[in-house]
């Protein structure tokens, strides 16, 4: 991975409380897995930054190298890699995602 891609990824993770590296964007996901994570985050009402990996091949491969995780989407909360679609879905269904967001002091619509 190039230093530029690594710095860009690290900067996004450091400056945004919730970051989703995905295919497409939040308004128009380009794969079902990305769409599902967007739907979950929208349902819990957490604001997030979506990074479209399809727009930059260096980021698309770079995020996989950065996290040592082979698939996209990838969710980060307060700098911590959470996982991909299956993990986010399981965490949401068990309530663990909502608990994590609360522990990290990230407001959701449920707290408004």
Task: Note the pLDDT tens digit of each residue in 59-108.
Answer: 999 999 999 999 999 999 999 999 999 999 999 999 999 999 999 999 88
What residue numbers does the annotated binding site for [2Fe-2S] cluster cover?
A: 31
Residues 6+ apart with CB under 8 A from 52: 22, 23, 24, 25, 30
Residue range 34-40: mean pLDDT, rounded: 98
Fold (CATH) for 3-104: Glutaredoxin (3.40.30)
Report domain extents, the chain: 3-104
Residue 111 pLDDT: 47
Tell me, what's the pLDDT at 110? 57
The answer to whether residue 18 scores a pLDDT higher than 60 is: yes
Pick out the residues of the known binding site: 31
E strands of the chain, at which residues? Answer: 18-22, 24-25, 28-29, 49-52, 74-77, 80-83
Higher pLDDT, 1 or 46: 46
Rounded-to-integer distance, Cα 100 and Cα 72, Å: 21
Q: Would you place residue 112 in the very low, low, confident or very high pLDDT band (cuts 50, 70, 90)?
A: very low
């Amino acid at each position: 991975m190039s230093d530029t891609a690594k710095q860009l990824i690290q900067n996004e993770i450091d400056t945004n409380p919730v970051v989703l590296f995905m295919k497409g964007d939040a308004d128009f996901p380009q794969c079902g897995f990305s769409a599902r994570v967007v739907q979950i985050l929208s349902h819990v009402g957490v604001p997030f930054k979506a990074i479209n990996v399809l727009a930059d091949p260096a980021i698309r491969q770079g995020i996989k190298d950065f996290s040592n995780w082979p698939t996209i989407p990838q969710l980060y909360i307060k700098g911590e890699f959470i996982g991909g679609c299956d993990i986010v879905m399981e965490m949401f269904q068990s309530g663990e995602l909502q608990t994590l967001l609360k522990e990290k002091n990230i407001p959701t619509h449920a707290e408004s």
